[in-house]
Chain A
């Protein structure tokens, strides 16, 4: 049933006058968790099913099932119809016009993770875990996971696509202890690619880096709360770019009146040195894809150019309602989820600053590595916590600090960026929105931001 005929069967059963599309997928994955060198967990997952949606007069009906049969597709269509045929009508009207792409994209990666022996995957994560252990560490926690997804999607208009995604990932945490308790540093390596991402020695290097950074946290103090000039490393820059700014560009939030960027297209939203890009076409990155989940070809989107807001991230619905062109931002976690506007690989374009980025800070904080954070795109309020930090004193990096967190408002911070570094890197992660988790990357250069509220004790 995971074939083009199922798409055609679905399309032939959708009533005239309705738009309809269907996503079928089959996924398979493996996961190992290693703790202190020992295999703690071994698991495999497999899943398949379909999600379909129909639309008429501005109302969507969506239904999904993991039973892939003609009968369950008909039942799901009946469920979806019950919403569309509801007595309550929407006054919002829009049209759905997918790109008429038809493609059968073969597996694009060099080493298919499904062809790699389990023992090789296990050896990889064990090597990373071993490298993350030193005399300072009290424990290590490492995980290897992969997931291969085959998607087939199409609509009542005749477009049909078949393509694959593959997400191998290696993550390592090293835990160190001092009188304040246990601190940890975690790093990951992964992408939408094959097993070739793990080059010889890359697992060991990942573990060694984590260990080196974790050692710095022994004896690190909690920062005193207050307002500081701060420098964000590429990881934290990426979190700001993705969480605080990127989510506010998602056009479903714009239409729901839930974004600080509503009505700001074409207007100045930040310093003229700031350019922000969301690019799903970057080869092999975790947030990359060739087609979005509505069949629109992926394209690079300049969100902010020299401080001016240039684009929102659109689905077919939002692009029609906003009278903008679709730009391939509709993503769904799996067959059971409807496509919504999402980011891919989001970053700030690098500038010219090097170590001089710290120079005129008398007392400030440098933030390193993202731990967690959250944002309210409607008000722009956000909070991010880094894995660790360093005080900046008289223009120089000084002692390490722990549990450093910062808060602010999306647009105020964008206007307080006064230096952009020449360095650049991306971090892979998983972004959550409305219960859907999709692979993304975020990053950029180091940036300096003036007068930010930092939490502490």
Chain B
């Protein structure tokens, strides 16, 4: 199957309605080891279609697993009936009319050469190295890789084909001292498993786990917050989510009304790059067949754009930005690759600049997207005083508004990570509320 065959299906229906069809075919494989033992593997094949229909300004979506053109035709009939009988009253009025370039991710072909036995050997070897270290209680490693084909077309005659791959490695290392247990988790992703340094991931996870032994609650104070690349990754990911055009439209984002205004320190240069070397997130067109683009999100401290799919662009009177990616409820808004430009200060030098503060290695929190207020647990981190790490912390929270956090970034580090398509360095933020004992 390809996008041309979808076009033929659409033309063959002769329906008095607009149609937009996207088919994905995923082949994925994963392996796991638990405490040094191979526990097994998993192989999955999944082919599914998302069919959208617009009938007289009313829209519907049908999502189904498919194995044949007949399945697709049945799905189209169902989407048409749904739009005609109930249809959304507040959907988009049209599908993409914009031409784009079809270009597969160039390194994805390597994924076909991946041997599970090679991956397993690398996982076991990485595990063996850290198991010798003191206080290591268990090492659990999970790896996976997948190959995806995407075909899409709509009734405006626009079609596109994309092929890509991705691989990830996740290590969870647990350290133990008496009754105290700590966890260090580390992840990495690339186009294929050969682009991931397994040893580095597992060693860093074990360093975090061992480093957290003896944690105690930090004092309550206002001070500096040093974000590791991972912590910055999560927080900048949420910041970019707040640029969602539909949330802006519905006034549910703390960035509503701030386009063109100062939202960050002048040090912040945040861009979307639709094509980065070895990134699994490279795409020329979004899930709505709108061309993606590289663009400034924040520069000179100013918010440069909102992110739109066709719906939010129509409703706000702006142009789609190529950020229409499907979520659970149909067309949502997402990005290809987001890059925060790094600085040149090493992490140890960043620590030496802190009079009193917290070095947050990991958190899992989200801000209140409407107000930007962030109340985040320091999942793993250290208390810093007079430029030195004093002790690991637990039962410690950070409270700050996202705009204040962005504006108070004073130094960008050189240590860097890319996860979930967001590439961030370590960074130092001043004047943050820390709550502890």
Say yes or no: B37 contacts A407, CB within 8 Å. no
List the one stretch of B146-154, B295-303, B389-397, B413-421 in contact with chain A.
B389-397
Task: Determine if A118 is an interface residue (Cβ-Cβ < 8 Å).
Answer: yes
Task: Determine if B400 is an interface residue (Cβ-Cβ < 8 Å).
Answer: yes
Rounded to whole angstroms, the CA-CA distance of A457 and B432 in the bound complex is 8
Rounded to whole angstroms, the CA-CA distance of A91 and B39 in the bound complex is 10
Rounded to whole angstroms, the CA-CA distance of A372 and B67 in the bound complex is 38
Rounded to whole angstroms, the CA-CA distance of A421 and B236 in the bound complex is 41
Say yes or no: A381 contacts B254, CB within 8 Å. no
List the one stretch of A38-46, A149-157, A188-196, A349-357 in contact with chain B.
A38-46
Rounded to whole angstroms, the CA-CA distance of A180 and B371 in the bound complex is 7
Residues of B within 8 A of A409 (CB): 394-395
Task: Determine if A159 is an interface residue (Cβ-Cβ < 8 Å).
Answer: no
Rounded to whole angstroms, the CA-CA distance of A183 and B138 in the bound complex is 42
Say yes or no: B399 contacts A31, CB within 8 Å. no
Task: Determine if A132 is an interface residue (Cβ-Cβ < 8 Å).
Answer: no
Task: Determine if A374 is an interface residue (Cβ-Cβ < 8 Å).
Answer: yes
Residues of A within 8 A of B435 (CB): 225-226, 453-456
Of B42, B124, B396, which is within 8 A of A62 by CB? B42
Encoded as 1 (CB less than 8 Å from any A CB) or 0, chain B from 90 to 122 comes to: 110000000000000000000000001100110
Residues of B within 8 A of A67 (CB): 45, 47, 67
Task: Determine if A182 is an interface residue (Cβ-Cβ < 8 Å).
Answer: yes
Say yes or no: B373 contacts A222, CB within 8 Å. yes
Task: Determine if B293 is an interface residue (Cβ-Cβ < 8 Å).
Answer: no
Say yes or no: B44 contacts A63, CB within 8 Å. yes
Say yes or no: A403 contacts B397, CB within 8 Å. no
Of A41, A58, A225, A336, which is within 8 A of B88 by CB? A41
Encoded as 1 (CB less than 8 Å from any B CB) or 0, chain A from 25 to 58 comes to: 0000001110100111111111111000001001
Task: Determine if B366 is an interface residue (Cβ-Cβ < 8 Å).
Answer: yes
Residues of A within 8 A of B89 (CB): 38-40
Rounded to whole angstroms, the CA-CA distance of A222 and B86 in the bound complex is 42
Task: Determine if A322 is an interface residue (Cβ-Cβ < 8 Å).
Answer: no
Q: Which B residues between 51 and 66 are near A, CB-CB below 8 angstroms?
A: 59-65
Task: Determine if A3 is an interface residue (Cβ-Cβ < 8 Å).
Answer: no
Rounded to whole angstroms, the CA-CA distance of A32 and B250 in the bound complex is 18
Encoded as 1 (CB less than 8 Å from any A CB) or 0, chain B from 27 to 38 comes to: 000010011011
Given A59-B40, A257-B137, A456-B399, also A66-B220 (CB < 8 A): no
Of A80, A119, A380, A457, which is within 8 A of B43 by CB? A80
Say yes or no: A43 contacts B63, CB within 8 Å. yes
Task: Determine if A298 is an interface residue (Cβ-Cβ < 8 Å).
Answer: no
Q: How close is B327's CB to chain A, nearest CB, in angstroms?
A: 11
Residues of B within 8 A of A23 (CB): none
Say yes or no: B330 contacts A41, CB within 8 Å. yes
Rounded to whole angstroms, the CA-CA distance of A67 and B251 in the bound complex is 43
Say yes or no: A66 contacts B67, CB within 8 Å. yes
Given A39-B90, A44-B62, A44-B82, also A456-B433 (CB < 8 A): yes
Q: Which B residues between 171 and 193 are near A, CB-CB below 8 angstroms?
A: 172, 174, 181-183
Of A58, A372, A383, which is within 8 A of B397 by CB? A383
Task: Determine if A234 is an interface residue (Cβ-Cβ < 8 Å).
Answer: no
Q: How close is B158's CB to chain A, nearest CB, in angstroms?
A: 22
Task: Determine if A74 is an interface residue (Cβ-Cβ < 8 Å).
Answer: no
Q: Size band of the B side of the interface?
A: 35 or more
Rounded to whole angstroms, the CA-CA distance of A94 and B184 in the bound complex is 29
List the one stretch of B159-167, B338-346, B350-358, B374-382 in contact with chain A.
B374-382
Task: Determine if B48 is an interface residue (Cβ-Cβ < 8 Å).
Answer: yes
Given A61-B40, A181-B254, also A456-B87 (CB < 8 A): no
Q: Size band of the A side of the interface?
A: 35 or more
Decide if the interface of chain A is mainly helix, strand, loop or mixed.
strand
Given A33-B329, A455-B375, also A405-B397 (CB < 8 A): yes
Encoded as 1 (CB less than 8 Å from any B CB) or 0, chain A from 199 to 234 comes to: 000000000000000000000001001110000000
Q: How close is B393's CB to chain A, nearest CB, in angstroms?
A: 10
Rounded to whole angstroms, the CA-CA distance of A222 and B45 in the bound complex is 48
Residues of A within 8 A of B220 (CB): 225-226
Encoded as 1 (CB less than 8 Å from any A CB) or 0, chain B from 292 to 326 comes to: 00000000000000000000000000000000000
Task: Determine if B78 is an interface residue (Cβ-Cβ < 8 Å).
Answer: yes
Residues of B within 8 A of A86 (CB): 38, 41, 116-117, 120
Residues of A within 8 A of B48 (CB): 47, 66
Say yes or no: B174 contacts A403, CB within 8 Å. no
Task: Determine if A175 is an interface residue (Cβ-Cβ < 8 Å).
Answer: yes
Say yes or no: B433 contacts A38, CB within 8 Å. no
Say yes or no: A408 contacts B395, CB within 8 Å. yes
Given A88-B38, A90-B37, also A118-B86 (CB < 8 A): yes
Residues of B within 8 A of A65 (CB): 44-46
Residues of A within 8 A of B44 (CB): 63-65, 336
Q: List 23 A-B contacts (CB under 8 A).
A: A39-B86, A40-B88, A41-B91, A43-B63, A58-B37, A62-B42, A66-B48, A72-B45, A76-B45, A79-B43, A83-B43, A175-B370, A181-B368, A182-B251, A225-B399, A255-B34, A260-B181, A336-B46, A378-B174, A383-B379, A405-B375, A456-B433, A457-B399
A residues touching B (Cβ–Cβ < 8 Å)? 31-33, 35, 38-49, 55, 58-67, 72, 76, 79-80, 82-84, 86-92, 118-119, 122, 138-139, 175, 180-184, 222, 225-227, 255-258, 260, 336, 338, 372, 374, 376, 378-383, 385, 402-405, 407-409, 453-457
15 additional A-B pairs beyond A64-B44, A89-B38, beta carbons within 8 Å, are A33-B329, A42-B59, A42-B82, A58-B39, A62-B42, A65-B46, A86-B117, A88-B120, A175-B252, A182-B251, A381-B377, A453-B395, A453-B396, A455-B376, A455-B377
B residues touching A (Cβ–Cβ < 8 Å)? 31, 34-35, 37-48, 59-65, 67, 78, 82-83, 85-91, 116-117, 120-121, 124, 137-138, 140, 172, 174, 181-183, 212, 217, 220, 250-252, 254, 329-330, 364-366, 368, 370-373, 375-377, 379, 394-401, 433-437
Closest 6 CB pairs of A and B: A225-B435, A257-B138, A60-B40, A455-B397, A83-B41, A383-B377
